Amino acid sequence: MSFIPIILMIAIFYFLLIRPTQKREKERKKMIEALQKGDKVLTSGGIYGVVVNIKAEENIVVLKIADGAKVEFARSAVQAKV
C-alpha cells in the first residue's frame, strides 16, 4: 500500500512534465523538416531571418538576416517559424 503514492507521483510527473515536453519537441522536429525557402524563422540565438537555401545533406540552413548578409546555421538551431 505504501507504493501507491509513489506510483501516483510518477504518473503525475509523467503527464505534467515529461509528456508535454516530448510532444513539443516532436512538433519542433516536424517544423524543422518542413522548412522551405522564404520562411521567416527565429534561431536559438535570437536572430530573425528568412530561409534562402537549405543544404539537406549537411543539415544546414542559410538565412538572410539583412540586405547582403547571409549566414549559415545548423538546422537544429531554428527554434520557430515567425
Q: Express each pLDDT in 53-68 by its tens digit.
A: 999 899 999 999 999 9
Give residue 2's pLDDT: 85
Which regions in the chain score pLDDT beneath 50?
A: none
Closest CA to 49 of 59, 39, 58: 39
Tell me the whole-structure pTM to 2 decimals. 0.76
Give residue 1's pLDDT: 75
Dihedral pair phi/psi, residue 71, rounded to 5°: -130, 140
Give residue 46's pLDDT: 96
C-alpha span between 6 and 20 (Å, rounded) = 21
Domains in the chain with CATH codes: 3-81 (2.30.30.30)
Asked if 35 contacts 51 with a C-beta cutoff of 8 angstroms, the reply is: yes
Give residue 56's pLDDT: 86
C-alpha span between 66 and 42 (Å, rounded) = 14
